[in-house]
Amino acid sequence: NAGVTQTPKFRILKIGQSMTLQCTQDMNHNYMYWYRQDPGMGLKLIYYSVGAGITDKGEVPNGYNVSRSTTEDFPLRLELAAPSQTSVYFCASSRVDGNQPQHFGDGTRLSIL
Amino acid sequence: DAKTTQPNSMESNEEEPVHLPCNHSTISGTDYIHWYRQLPSQGPEYVIHGLTSNVNNRMASLAIAEDRKSSTLILHRATLRDAAVYYCILRDPQTGANNLFFGTGTRLTVIP
């Protein structure tokens, strides 16, 4: 069972470059999420989606964009990368019921130099 | 979402029980108590959740105080694999999109 798959696992960007972090899930979950985790901190929600074509901002959306064209995929786009975006990024998915657990990927470790 | 308070770190000897506390004095009547853990270099994984009654599953037990202002995650026999950061999170299933708000959690160290 693949679950939630994130690519790439590691990436180094230069300031001002852009990139897309990929996330796909094979559990047919309607809800998907992007979090970032800075060293020694808990996860913070960047964007989330309740279904294909529907996205909404979380706590820390500035500097990021998302799209949700299919149930399976939820890519996160960084435009004009900045050092403050150096972090570990986690994608997650869940079923609709509010008490269903979220399933997380293994993360993408991103460094902006 | 209401806030939770957890100790920054705890230690346990291997094969002994571990009690991880969480205070949530501002919990509302519709908030469920969720626990996740994050092993080193991995994404968080769900552990357990409950509303009022104590809950058990294959990973852990959750003991909830009668006034619901605190709860305790119980690992019955700690193993080295249980070394992780444990997050206590309140979640109202009637609001939002199942969003989770993570604090800094409790870092559990298991001593061989």
Q: Give the percent of chain A with pLDDT over 70.
A: 98
Cis peptide before B112 (omega within 30 of 0): no
pLDDT value at position B105?
94
Whether pLDDT at A8 is above 70: yes
Q: Where are the beta strands (DSSP E) in B1-112?
A: 9-13, 18-23, 32-38, 45-50, 55-56, 61-64, 70-75, 84-91, 106-111
CA distance A42 to chain B (A): 5
Interface test with B, best of A25, A43, A60, A88 (most B CBs within 10 A): A43
CA distance B17 to chain A (A): 25
- Per-residue model confidence (pLDDT) at position B2: 60
- pLDDT (0 to 100) of residue A91: 98
Q: What is the pLDDT of residue B97?
A: 67
- Low-confidence residues of chain B, pLDDT below 50? none
Mean pLDDT to the nearest integer, A85-93: 97
Q: B13 to chain A, minimum CA–CA distance in Å? A: 24
Q: What is the pLDDT of residues A20-73, one digit of tens each?
A: 999 999 999 999 999 999 988 889 999 999 999 999 999 999 999 999 999 999
| pLDDT confidence band for A1 (50 / 70 / 90) | low
Q: Which of B98, B104, B107 to mutate to test the interface with A (most CBs of A within 10 A)?
A: B98
